[in-house]
Chains A and B, each alone.
Chain A
Amino acid sequence: MTLLDSTFKQRSGKKALIPFITAGFPHPKMTVSLMHTLVDNGADIIELGMPFSDPMADGPVIQKASEQAIKLGCNLALTLDMVAQFRQDNQHTPVVLMGYLNPVESMGYEDFVKTAAEAGVNGLLLVDSPPEESADLQTQLKQHDMQQIFLVAPTTSDSRKAFICQQAAGFIYYVALKGVTGSADLNPEVVNQEIKDLKRYSDLPIAIGFGVKDAASAVAVAEQADAVVIGSALIQVLSDCTTSEQAQQKAADFMRPIRSALDSL
């Protein structure tokens, strides 16, 4: 059983909370301590964004975070190094890398997967590498017990849902809305119905993201889902932090109400 699998199993019905932060934002030296803060304040899994120059599925907040991280010298190798550092003090919280294919392809699948596995990465979510295009990558991932997370969107057809669910591992990431990350108008009723429907195709846990921004919206969409991902709103809170202490404080303040709201469900 992988760390992702056992993490969800241990939650046994309780909603998991998955914060997303961009590696290297607001500054590369803050990322590892931020990851620990997130865990201390209720994160069950951490999604770590791999900054990319052309994040075409992201809204303005994560775009800017990526740009800033790259400017400050953050790259894929450094991101993997951050995970390795985090793992020195934490062996129990799964880390899922999220981003785009080109930096991974540039490093080479074999090198990337090997280094990531050694660093302690558990899952990989590549926005622009759908199951159809992921066969070679999957071969490498399987050798190192890393799981590739796939997205399902509101526009995904039934036959495609079945196909994706067959390939999926770890959990399924349901994109809550037609739009980019951090968009506004979520309709919880529709989302809950969609997730209920998605469960017909897979027994894997389902996480919901894109458009969840606070305790209220997290609770509203968590009715059917097993986990909630929050990214843009957290990045926004961190954006004007200039010290690690400040960033940790803000992250903790942001996480706590969401954690307790989810726990009250």
Chain B
Amino acid sequence: MTQDINNLPDETGHFGRFGGNFASETLFHCLEELKTAYKKLKNDAEFQQQFKQDLAEFVGRPSPLYFAERLTEQQQGAKIWLKREDLNHTGAHKINNTVGQILLAKAMGKKRIIAETGAGQHGVATATVAARMGLKCIVYMGSVDIERQAINVFRMKLLGAEVRAVDSGSKTLKDALNEAMRDWVAHVDDTFYIIGTVAGPAPYPEMVRDFNSVIGREVRKQSMEKIGRLPDALVACVGGGSNAMGLFYPFIEDKEVKMFGVEAGGKGLETGQHAASISAGKVGVLHGNRTYVMSDDAGQVTETHSISAGLDYPGVGPEHAYLNDSGRAEYVTVNDDEALAAFHILTKTEGIMPALESAHAIAYGMKLAKFMSADQHIVVNLSGRGDKDVHTVADLEGVSV
């Protein structure tokens, strides 16, 4: 595998100056335990076989690489391909990671599952695998998000999970993560914390990336079959950055493949109302790792804004911070209105309704295509489907549903 050559993170969980283990002392033992268990199972044939089988039979993989013919025609540039993570069980890439982590939890003999969620996609994906394994599941969610994402809250409850409202701080994703950490500290012995993105203390960024790397591995194979070579560019949206990392990682050594991470530009970087940690944040420490963080002059983490709840996070996975600084990947922003426009365009031209998160990637993919030639190929990660966002879009456009 190509990724073995670029062997990051190092033993201490660092990606260059990013990542690491900035956790409370109480958690060190279980992080160490987790690291050891993961290291062992990563190379365990039986575990990998089970993971593969679950991805095939429970998630429905491989997901297709779809040629967006009409979208391509409209842009009159490079060919646009969509990696259809929206067709996965539960409707997004998030399930790849939860399927992997729950197997790990089982192997470690943990009885209680906790998770944080923002938009509710990771919460649903966690509740789903917990239900399948018959494990108790508690999902922490900011009370503001609970209000915004009522349907996903109900889905989690249907799946048997307990959803706990978080009323501290900004009452959104970052605070849900804080609260999950607090729960974990108090229940370290029997609890497994399924973090939903490539952030958190080591080994989470590496582990979540690995479980999502199935996306990029499939794209490599599918590109060879359909295009006859690797694509020229990859595009994915970045909040914490798990779908992007999953797509990018298997291509890291293929320098000819350009990689673009699309951050949420919100109402525009100049307004301060966005969630573009790499493009407009500074290096800091949040949720157990060093990375780019949106914070004020005094180092207080600031509230973020995006039309898409899944990108509404003031940090970013440390490996993205590293890929940015090393120049291997480029990070750009797409604003709310551009994402909303892309949502409509994809829906009308291809009959595919993207999640508002993924619509950011679509918007940038369309822009990029225009500057590339017809014999070039772009793969855009369609990380999730848009059903969950129908109400948001209706509200924004003053339509009552």
Contacts and interface: CB of A to CB of B under 8 A. Distances in A.
Interface in B73-116: none
B26 A54 contact: no
Contacts of B286: 54, 102
Contacts of A106: 282, 284, 295, 297-299
B22 A128 contact: yes
A54 B302 CA distance: 10
A142 B265 CA distance: 42
A60 to B, nearest CB: 7
B178 A55 contact: yes
A102 B185 contact: no
A108 B19 CA distance: 18
A180 B182 CA distance: 6
B30 A155 contact: yes
B159 interface: no
Given A101-B22, A130-B22, A156-B29, A57 B168 contact: no
Nearest to B201: A128
Contacts of A183: 186
Contacts of B187: 178
A151 B187 CA distance: 18
Interface stretch (A8-16, A69-77, A227-235, A241-249): A69-77
Nearest to A160: B28
A204 interface: no
Contacts of B287: 54, 56
Interface string B178-203: 10011001111100000000000000
Nearest to A131: B25
A63 interface: yes
Contacts of A152: 25
Interface in A44-88: 52-57, 59-60, 63-64, 67, 70, 75-77
A107 interface: yes
Nearest to B30: A155
Interface in A167-181: 175, 178-180
Classify chain B's interface size.
35 or more
Interface in A93-134: 100-107, 127-130, 132-133
B293 to A, nearest CB: 7
A156 B23 CA distance: 13
Given A54-B286, A56-B287, A67-B168, A103 B25 contact: no
Most buried by B among A54, A76, A133, A154: A54
Interface in B279-302: 282-288, 290, 293, 295, 297-302
A54 B25 contact: no
Contacts of A105: 283-285, 299
A179 B29 contact: no
A91 interface: no
B298 A128 contact: no
Nearest to B189: A178
A216 interface: no
A70 B26 contact: no
B20 interface: yes
Contacts of A63: 168-169
Contact of B22 (A129, A160, A164, A180): A129
B178 A54 contact: yes
Interface in A192-220: none
B25 A52 contact: no
A264 interface: no
B284 A102 contact: yes
Interface in B3-59: 12, 20-30, 32
B122 interface: no
Contacts of A261: none
A67 to B, nearest CB: 7
Contacts of A75: 298-300
Contacts of B290: 133
A139 to B, nearest CB: 16
A132 to B, nearest CB: 6
B186 A156 contact: no
Most buried by B among A77, A100, A104, A105: A105
A153 interface: yes
B170 to A, nearest CB: 8
A132 B182 contact: no
A105 B185 CA distance: 24
A136 B185 CA distance: 27
Interface string A146-161: 0000111111110010
B25 A153 contact: yes
Contact of B28 (A60, A67, A155): A155
Most buried by B among A56, A64, A105, A128: A56
B29 A128 contact: no
B174 interface: yes
A243 B24 CA distance: 35
Contacts of B175: 54
Nearest to B22: A128
A128 B188 contact: no
B26 A178 contact: yes
Contacts of B32: 157
Contacts of A151: 24-25
Contacts of A64: 168
B21 A133 contact: yes
B300 A70 contact: yes
Given A53-B300, A63-B168, A102-B299, A179 B186 contact: yes
A103 B288 contact: no
18 contacts: A53-B169, A56-B181, A57-B26, A76-B298, A101-B285, A102-B293, A103-B298, A103-B299, A127-B24, A128-B24, A129-B22, A130-B28, A151-B25, A153-B24, A153-B28, A160-B28, A178-B189, A180-B185
Q: Which 8 A-B pairs have the closest CB atoms?
A: A106-B299, A103-B299, A75-B298, A155-B29, A153-B26, A151-B25, A179-B186, A53-B300
Given A53-B301, A133-B290, 7 more contacts: A56-B24, A63-B169, A75-B298, A102-B301, A127-B24, A155-B27, A156-B25
